[in-house]
Structure formats: structure tokens, C-alpha cells
Amino acid sequence: MDEYLLHVGGQWRAGHAAPDVAVSPATGETFASVAVAGPADVDDAVRTAARAGPDWAARSPFERAAWCERVAAAILGRRDDLARVLTLDQGKPLQAEAYGEVDELAEYFRMAAADARRLDGAYPPSSSAGRRVITARVPLGVVGVISPWNWPYTMGAELFAPALAAGNAVVWVPAPSTSACCAVLAGIIAAEGTPPGVFSFVPGPGPVAGDALAGHPGVAAVGFIGSVATGGLVAARAAGKTQLLELGGNGPMVILEDADLDLAAGAALEAAYLCAGQSCTAGERFLVHAAVRAEFTERVVAATAGRVRLGDPFDPQTTMGPLNNEATAAKFDRHVADAVSRGAKLCHGGRRAAGFATPLYAEPTVLDGVTPDMLIATEETFGPVVPIVEVTSAAQALELTNSSPFGLTAAVFTGDLERGLAFAEQARAGWVNVNASTNLWESHLPFGGRSGSVSGRGRVGGRFAMEAFTEPKTILYPGPRLSG
């Protein structure tokens, strides 16, 4: 059994709390022990980060960029190891998803390197002819990163890669249920000439390690990706600090009467079953026009039955693996049961699958006749389900989209581009796809919740995350005088 430790101040060490054990949702085996950080460990990490940060910030952006590129190369050099432990720890299919996450992880570091080289300032005019002004973006200091378990590598890296490249020191608290695979990544980062204290890895429970990090007076900024409920707690503890919060979604996927139904049905599989539905960008509601609802439902059921293979995530033929934890699986059960008890029709799946090593394998599910007030249509299910809600017009679909407290992603399918763009402009979401799944996104583009929604604040994605972890500094000085 592998043993993973904390990484603080350039040293690997045990935590102040008793170590945890990592149990695979895929196989049920206990495959690792992981040190658990207590508040004292987090305090040590923040203090060492504060001491190491100024030297890191003073280095050339090109030097930090070169370090990012070395980390990216090391990630790809350990691609097989990273993918294997990700599948073991998180449960996502090795071939269908885990390798892709590792590749995207490397891309986050390459992107951070490129953005660090382009992080420029300005030379604005002064109100006085005798003065000159420079503005430059400078790092904030110590950045605390608290990341989720659904994409253990990339959701952390989309925060800490740009933060480090911009000159900040980082303390990372990953989700406990996938801290083993995160420990492997932390080891790669630590081995690439990272100055002691610049990057610390302190896994532990959110109410303990995460809380200590978010509320620490030595932390200048907090980046958090996770649930709405936990995001609210993090925001309260981090009051007064810079905050970048990417929270949950209940993304509607709208299928209008002129949509290409084959395209929409295929996109529904990606929207509902990627990462077994455990995605903040998942299609959580399918608002389908009455004129095509029956046909769309039929095609989605056929596509689910023919193309989605629930199975051992180490099997190359598997397209969907288990849910990561029992709490998520229980919510899936509860939402499906609530919908069926209130009149929804179970067209496919709807149960835990038998015959697997753990009870976390949930069947890909299609529900028809869902109403807007059911739990599955109002909450974030985070499971493999296509809940179909009938609408009679684009206006009704827009109203249902905008009445939700969530505002992360949405998608609309229509044969009329002008109509699709009109819907996208009026939808209350931070990201809207036209004729593409809610789960389609590009990592260099700004991504986050719409203002006023419960889906977060700020934007991740390329330079937008880097800008979040820097601030403009103004230098005013006397103008040059020509002598002689």
C-alpha cells in the first residue's frame, strides 16, 4: 500500500492528524494511506509560503514560465502513472477520460507559462506634464487553493498553475476523497526545482484544513471550486480576501422544435454521462419542445443503451465508471425516486447496478415527464441522468433557464443560428453553447457563474485566472529631463 505525506516548506512529513486511507470507488480496495493536515500544518504551510513568496515573485516571469514548462513535461513523462492512480482514486474510465485529464493538466501548466510571459502593464498619462506613470500587474502573495474530487488534477491546476506562474506562493488543500492521486501530482511539482515553501500540499477535511486555509490571516487570496454550500462557507471565512469561486450548476440543455435531434441526442450523452454526470457543467435539465419531446426521448434512450458502457473503469471498452462516493450516489437515488414518485417516467436505468466491486456504479438514466419543481430539476444531481422537461416555446425555455438560482452553463439546440444567439444572449449563465453540449468548454476561455447567481464569482481560464491572482500596482515618478 502506498503512503503519501504532506509537503510543507520543501519537506515531506506526517500530519498532526491521524492518516486517512484511500479506498477505490472502482475496486473497493484500500490502496494508499494519506497524511491528514490539521490547523497547525496549514499554519506552517502558510507561514513558509509567506517567507518564500517574495523571492519567487522577484524572479523573471520567463524563469517561472520555464519552470511551468518543466512541470508540464514531467506530467507527460508520468502520464501512465497519473492516469492509473486517477482511475483508482476517482473512478473515471482510464481510456475514455483519465488520460484526457492528465493531458489537460499538462496544458494548464503550458498555458500558464505562455500567459506569464504576456502579463504586461501600461504607461498611462499623468495629469501633469512633469510626471510619468507605470502600472504593472503584481502577485498577491499567498494563494490558498481548495479543489474538488470530480477533476482532481485539472480543477486544482486551473487555479494554482496561473497563481504560481504569476509569482504567488500556493498552499493546496485537495478534496479528501481523491487526495491520493493529488499527492502523486504534488510529488511531481515538488520535484521540479520548486523553491521550498513556494508550493505546499496539505490534504485534509474541508471543515478542518480547508477552513484553516480560507480563514488564515496570512492568505491573500482563496481559489475554491466545489459545491454552492461549501463555497458559501469558504466565502465567509475568506471575507476581505480576493476570492475566485467556481461553484455548482444546474445547466439547462434546451432542444427547440427545429433542432437536429441526432446532434442533440449525441450531445445529451456527453452532457449527462461524462464523469458519470459528476460535473458542474453537466446537463442537469433537458428542456425539450413538445413537438419533438417524444422523438428526442426515444433517440436518447436508444443512444444510451447502444453507446454508454457502464463498467470497470480499467476496461478499455468502458465509457462510464462509478460515482466517487456514497453521498453522491445517495443523492442520485433520492432525486430519481422523488421524480418517479411524482409522476416522471423512468425510460432507462434509474438504479444502482449490480455485479460490480462496489455499490457506487449507477445506471445511466433517462427520465421523461419531469416537472420544473422536482428535486432533479431544481438541485444539482451530480449523477448520470437525463431529466426531460417539456416546454412549448423558446420563451418558456428561457424563463425556466433564468428562474433557476444557478447561472453557470446552458446550451440551446436549434436550426436557426440567429435564434440560438438570441437565446444565448438572454440566458442568465456565464457560458452558453449553441448546438453543443453543456460539457463542452475550452480551458483558455473565461469560465464562471453569472453575476447574481449562486454559481460563484470571478473567472477561471487562461489569463483570466492569472489576472485574478494579480493586481495592478501604480508607480508615479518625475518625468525625464534632457540635460546638456
Residue 17 makes CB contacts below 8 A (sequence gap 6+) with 36, 37, 38, 204, 208
DSSP 475: E
HSE value, Cβ hemisphere, 13 Å, CA-based, for 352:
17
Find, among 41, 24, 40, the residue nearest to 32 by Cα. 24
User: 451: which 3 cell numbers?
Assistant: 453575476
Classify residue 208 by its DSSP letter. I
CB burial of residue 341 (10 Å; 0-12, 13-18, 19+):
exposed
Identify the active-site residue in 246, 363, 380, 390: 246
280 catalytic per annotation: yes
Name the DSSP class of 192. T
Task: Give CA separation, 211 vs 35, 145, 216, in Å.
Answer: 17, 11, 8
For the chain, percent helix, then strand, then coil, each to nearest 5? 40, 20, 35
| Three cell numbers written together for 313 | 473503469
Nearest CA to 88 among 180, 204, 20, 19? 180
Please answer whether residues 393 and 372 qualify as being in contact, where contact means their C-beta atoms are separated by less than 8 angstroms.
Answer: no
Bridge partners of residue 139, in order along the sequence: 470
- Active-site residue 246, yes or no? yes
Nearest to 267 by CA among 309, 305, 296, 310: 296
Single out the catalytic residue among 68, 181, 275, 280. 280
The set of catalytic residues is 246, 280
